[in-house]
Amino acid sequence: MDRIWIAGPCAAESREQVLTTAEQLVTCARNANIPLHYYRAGVWKVRSTPNSFAGAGEVALDWLQEVQHLYHIPACVEVMNAEQVELCAKHDIRIVWVGARTAVNPIDVQQIADAVQHSNFTVMVKNPMIPDLKLWMGNIERFRQADIQQVIAIHRGFPDANENVYRNTPLWHIPIDLKVQMPELPILCDPSHLCGQAHLIPEIAQLAMNYGFNGLMTECHCQPAQALSDTEQQLSPEAWASMISQLDLRTGGSDLELLKQRTVLENIDHQISELLYQRMKTVDEIADIKRKNHIAVVQPQQWHHVVQRYMKHSEDTSYQTFIEQFLELLHQSSINRQK
């Protein structure tokens, strides 16, 4: 199965922003010899707070029509109801996706499926906000039963208040299980929403390729720092093209279970590296507080709590030895930084 690359801004903000981003993406893709299959843009954005930018609305469909006419690249947008599907069809936009928030409500999904029934729409279905594989598969099945020939799944991670590295925790086993149960279904990764920070996106994109995902949907903006929504997670077109061109696109042949475990390990290592870096930055902040308040660098009682926390799996002797050596190095490094 060929790879599918989708890129474009989180939200359609203005005609100039939509067309400029499209022009830059097309140019960068051509220069890097990368096919840009779809141009994405949020026309109607579901936002957590009422004061957040929610997209330009129906007028943005005119801008996306211009993109399709100028660059011969299909545009795709998120839809939340049948009325929005009808507006997309009116503007000759035939690729839509169901967002994570909409995906938690089978009634909403069924209404969208009824709206596209027996049509030439391509429908992409993001995983629901809750980690429920049956719900995700049920949403996909609704569009298959609606006689939609091209249905694509998109993994964007799951909200988790305990997640310390990514915006959404990956829970890779869920899309992998989806792949096992629906092997003919294309599955893409949305590393932008999964990561929440642009500098984390390339590594997650590579992990998705290692897992055998069929492509990526990535948020890109002509001026990411000035974006009206999701500023921190949007790549520039140049950064997007550089990332895609450097991906190691592995082919099949590996044992799926071995591939799954290796990639889980890669994901854990990536999170450990990020958390260790965050820990050292926090140590520096603590050092400043101690200096200002004339507090001793070494706090034995506090360090005892840290050790106890790490030793909860101490029934494994070899693991305990490793943790003792690791904590000694960690403690000494923290003291040295504070001094």
Surface-to-core class of residue 36, CB atoms within 10 Å of its CB (0-12 exposed, 13-18 middle, 19+ buried): buried
Model-wide pTM > 0.85: no
Are both 243 and 261 inside the same structural domain? no
How far is residue 246's CA from residue 26's CA, in Å, rounded to a whole number?
18
Tokens of 275: 């958390």
The CATH number covering residue 314 comes to 1.20.59.10
Are both 17 and 71 inside the same structural domain? yes
Beta-carbon contacts of residue 295 (< 8 Å; ≥ 6 apart): 289
pLDDT at residue 159, as a whole number? 95
One-letter amino acid identity for 7?
A
The answer to whether the beta carbons of residues 199 and 172 sit under 8 Å apart is: no
Number of domains in the chain: 2
Are both 134 and 266 inside the same structural domain? no
Are both 271 and 125 inside the same structural domain? no
**Final residue before a domain boundary, out of 236, 251, 266:** 251
Which structural domain, as residue segments, surrounds residue 292?
257-338
The CATH number covering residue 100 comes to 3.20.20.70
**Final residue before a domain boundary, out of 251, 271, 294:** 251
Are both 207 and 334 inside the same structural domain? no
pLDDT at residue 279, as a whole number? 83
* pLDDT tens-digit profile, the chain (339 residues): 689 999 999 999 999 999 999 999 999 999 999 999 999 999 998 777 887 888 899 999 999 999 999 999 999 999 999 999 999 999 999 999 999 999 999 999 999 999 999 999 999 999 999 999 999 999 999 999 999 999 999 999 999 988 889 999 999 989 988 988 999 999 999 999 999 999 999 999 999 998 889 999 999 999 999 999 999 999 999 999 999 999 998 765 456 667 667 767 777 887 788 888 888 888 888 878 878 887 776 667 777 777 777 777 666 777 778 877 887 887 777 777 777
Are both 267 and 186 inside the same structural domain? no
pLDDT at residue 324, as a whole number? 79
Are both 185 and 98 inside the same structural domain? yes
Closest C-alpha to 311, from 298, 302, 324, 300? 324
**Final residue before a domain boundary, out of 191, 217, 251:** 251
